């Protein structure tokens, strides 16, 4: 078990990581989700022992390892910018941690070839990294992490440079492989969709703060605040400021619609409601879906789906519509909001406790 106990990192008098309490269990998959410069790599460096916290402590299986150097910890780390030994073959790059650990030649050969097969590197074992593509070099670094049999595996956006097909395959395989080893698996990403695909647990980060940690699907469905909701949304969340009065939600423009059942117990007053682009549609999802008139800004066709950007009374929304919708700018269209999925936040940005909304 890895524990950060009020661990913080300051550089030049500024927090890179604010005081953080976090517990990661053995055999668990843990995603660090946040935009660039949110603190993901800095947090990983504290976990690994590459950096020492300015305050607080780091514990592994109950022992305080705050001052223990990374070389004395059983840690494997793979960065987006792959690091390999340029003078060694792919085979020797993968084998290097096992040779350092004094493993026997037969075990080394078996493990190297198993990892190379998984990473589609078997034809390249005799090559040096400089004779590989960027994706092949990244797979070499991943294979080396696989064979190390580390207790803590830290992957910092490791699949960003791989092609789509291999990236999807490894997203499926890696959690299973590392979980079976009993290692603590920490995976950093900027992509909410990747966090959902990986599953496990997710810690959302913003400006060096862990805003929420829990089961990935729970953090996605029940963010504790607006910052977390925005972090776990791509395309971006849509927002509208309303005032609740009895059963009605009313916008400043005078537009109003019925509060859904899960918001019926919310206190009257000002609130911000948020919803994902796929909860706005060109046709009503339920009889209770309010019809709203918006003006199109631009349509982005991705193939089987279209992102339609609209203006609703001065508020910019994005709608994810199935099919091809090439709508001219400044066209007034009717859009329908599936209110079963609305999230509500108070003026302080904290989530308002409500009944269970639809998943």
Largest CA distance in the chain: 76
Answer left, alpha or beta for residue 12, where phi above 0 means left and psi between -120 and 50 means alpha: left
Structural domains of the chain, ranges and CATH numbers in brackets = 2-230 (3.40.50.300), 236-345 (2.40.50.140)
The per-residue pLDDT for 355 is: 62
The per-residue pLDDT for 23 is: 97
The per-residue pLDDT for 179 is: 67
Q: Within the chain, which residues score under 50 in pLDDT?
A: none
The tens digit of pLDDT for each residue in 185-238 reads 999 999 999 999 888 999 999 999 999 999 999 999 999 999 999 999 988 999
How buried is 59 (Cβ within 10 angstroms: 0-12 exposed, 13-18 middle, 19+ buried)? Answer: middle
Instruction: For residues 295 and 282, give the distance between their C-alpha atoms in angstroms, rounded to a whole number.
Output: 13
287: CB partners within 8 A, 6+ apart: none
The per-residue pLDDT for 149 is: 82
E strands of 146-290, at which residues?
A: 152-156, 184-189, 201-206, 209-215, 238-245, 248-250, 256-258, 269-275, 280-281
- Select from 59, 27, 33, 34 the least CA-distant residue to 46: 59
The tens digit of pLDDT for each residue in 17-31 reads 999 999 999 889 999
The per-residue pLDDT for 359 is: 59
Dihedral sign from CA coordinates of 59, 65, 69, 72: negative
Strands 305-312 and 55-60: unpaired
């Amino acid at each position: 078990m890895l524990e950060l106990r009020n661990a913080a990192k300051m550089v030049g008098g500024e927090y890179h990581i604010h005081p953080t309490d976090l517990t990661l269990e053995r055999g668990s998959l843990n995603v660090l989700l946040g935009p660039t410069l949110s603190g993901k790599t800095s947090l990983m460096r504290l976990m690994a022992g590459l950096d020492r916290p300015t305050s607080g402590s780091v514990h592994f299986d109950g022992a305080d390892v705050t001052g223990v150097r990374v070389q004395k910890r059983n840690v494997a780390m793979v960065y987006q910018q792959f690091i390999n030994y340029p003078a060694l073959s792919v085979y020797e790059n993968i084998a290097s941690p096992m040779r350092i650990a004094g493993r026997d030649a037969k075990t080394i050969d078996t493990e190297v070839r198993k990892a190379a097969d998984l990473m589609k590197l078997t034809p390249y074992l005799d090559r040096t990294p400089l004779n590989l593509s960027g994706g092949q070099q990244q797979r070499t670094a991943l294979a080396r992490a696989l064979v190390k049999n580390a207790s803590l595996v830290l992957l910092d956006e490791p699949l960003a440079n791989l092609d789509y097909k291999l990236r999807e395959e490894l997203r499926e395989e890696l959690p299973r492989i590392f979980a079976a080893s009993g290692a603590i698996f920490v995976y950093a990403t900027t992509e909410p969709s990747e966090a959902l695909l990986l599953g496990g647990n997710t810690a959302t980060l913003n400006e060096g703060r862990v805003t929420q940690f829990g089961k990935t699907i729970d953090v996605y469905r029940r963010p504790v605040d607006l910052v977390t909701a925005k972090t776990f949304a791509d395309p971006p969340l849509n927002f509208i400021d309303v005032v609740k009065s009895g059963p009605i939600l009313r916008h400043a423009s005078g537009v109003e619609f019925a509060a859904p059942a899960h918001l019926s117990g919310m206190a009257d007053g000002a609130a911000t409601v948020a919803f994902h682009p796929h909860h706005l549609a060109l046709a009503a999802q339920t009889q209770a879906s309010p019809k709203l008139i918006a003006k199109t800004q631009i349509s982005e066709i991705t193939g089987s789906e279209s992102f339609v950007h609209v203006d609703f009374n001065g508020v910019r929304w994005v709608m994810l519509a199935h099919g091809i919708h090439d709508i001219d700018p400044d066209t007034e269209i009717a859009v329908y909001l599936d209110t079963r999925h609305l999230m509500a936040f108070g003026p302080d940005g904290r989530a308002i406790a409500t009944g269970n909304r639809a998943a």
